[in-house]
Chains A and B, each alone.
Chain A
Amino acid sequence: MFGELVGLLFTSMIVNNVVLAQFLGMCPFMGVSRKRSSAVGMGMAVVFVIVAAALVTYGLHYLVLVPLGLDYMDLITFILVIASLVQLTEMFIKKTSPGLYKSLGVYLPLITTNCVVLNVCLVNITNGYDFPHMLMYSIGTPLGFALVLVIFSTIRERLDLSDVPEFFKGNPIALVCAAIMAMAFSAFSGVI
């Protein structure tokens, strides 16, 4: 059981990385990866919101929607829960921790439209995970997202200092690097 959980954590984080293997969350991946400090802030915010959203939606599905025969309303319920959770989190951080708000605050509204959050909530239900598996998947996926985002931001910082051909500057060379990163990460598929 323990080995299976560690395997799921590793798979969701590295092997089936949400950005490089499933091509989800591409907007923040390209948009918020120009500076390492921004990437770290966005990564932390995504980890926090995904874990919280997964716990709430998993509980709502099995304790409210299934007993009432409303499990067909998963999608609309999860969207509303994620949007509400982002508002609640932003309000809580504003009141309790100005320092944390300074580093995460501006990225929190962007997470509402991050499809990775909805994907994690839906996969937890469609794959029929029990609670420990759901927890591992919900921690591993955003950690993988944050890891790739931070690595990519360091590459883009180096690219700004490199002598790149004029027509490759900006997003084109970033996309080429993302493709090479995806190929590198695909090599982990033989590990598990």
Chain B
Amino acid sequence: MALVYGILFLGALVGIYIFLYIQNKKTPVPKGCENLKADCEGCKITSCSLRDKKLKEEK
């Protein structure tokens, strides 16, 4: 029974995350904050979404 509770609990958490992610994407960015940029040139993590955004802008 504990295994079923575990799967249900994990499913609920994943569901909550997906719901919040979609709602966050739908929420409009406040005026004047459309082109915010992080000053993170020193960071070398290649998988970061901010880095992808920067590379696209540079292209």
Q: Indicate whether A64 reaches chain B with its CB closer than 8 angstroms.
A: yes
Q: Indicate whether A115 reaches chain B with its CB closer than 8 angstroms.
A: no
From known contacts A31-B43, A84-B16, A91-B24, infer whether A110 and B48 are also in contact, taking CB-CB under 8 Å. yes
- Decide if B42 touches A33 in the complex (CB within 8 Å): yes
Interface of B is mostly: loop
Give the bracket for the number of chain A residues in contact with chain B: 35 or more
Interface stretch, picked from A11-19, A70-78, A116-124, A129-137, is A70-78
Q: Indicate whether B55 reaches chain A with its CB closer than 8 angstroms.
A: no
Q: Which single member of B20, B29, B30, B50 contacts A84 (CB below 8 Å)?
A: B20
Interface of A is mostly: helix
What are 28 pairs between A and B in contact, CB < 8 Å?
A31-B42, A31-B44, A31-B45, A64-B9, A65-B9, A68-B2, A68-B5, A69-B5, A70-B2, A70-B5, A73-B9, A77-B13, A80-B10, A80-B16, A84-B13, A87-B17, A87-B21, A94-B27, A94-B29, A98-B30, A101-B33, A105-B29, A105-B33, A107-B38, A109-B50, A110-B48, A110-B50, A174-B42
- Decide if A87 touches B24 in the complex (CB within 8 Å): yes
Q: Indicate whether B57 reaches chain A with its CB closer than 8 angstroms.
A: no
Q: Which residues of A contact B39 (CB under 8 A)?
A: 32, 34-35, 38
Q: Which residues of A contact B28 (CB under 8 A)?
A: 94
Whole-angstrom distance from the CB of B8 to the nearest CB of chain A? Answer: 10
Q: Mark B1-34, 1 if CB is under 8 A from A, else 0.
A: 0100110011001101100110110011111110
Q: How long is the Cα–Cα vector from A101 to B42 in the complex, in angstroms?
A: 23
Q: Which residues of B contact A73 (CB under 8 A)?
A: 6, 9-10
- Decide if B2 touches A106 in the complex (CB within 8 Å): no
Q: Indicate whether B41 reaches chain A with its CB closer than 8 angstroms.
A: yes
Q: How long is the Cα–Cα vector from A110 to B39 in the complex, in angstroms?
A: 12
- Decide if B13 touches A81 in the complex (CB within 8 Å): yes
Q: How long is the Cα–Cα vector from A130 to B6 in the complex, in angstroms?
A: 25
Q: Indicate whether A95 reaches chain B with its CB closer than 8 angstroms.
A: yes
- Decide if A171 touches B27 in the complex (CB within 8 Å): no
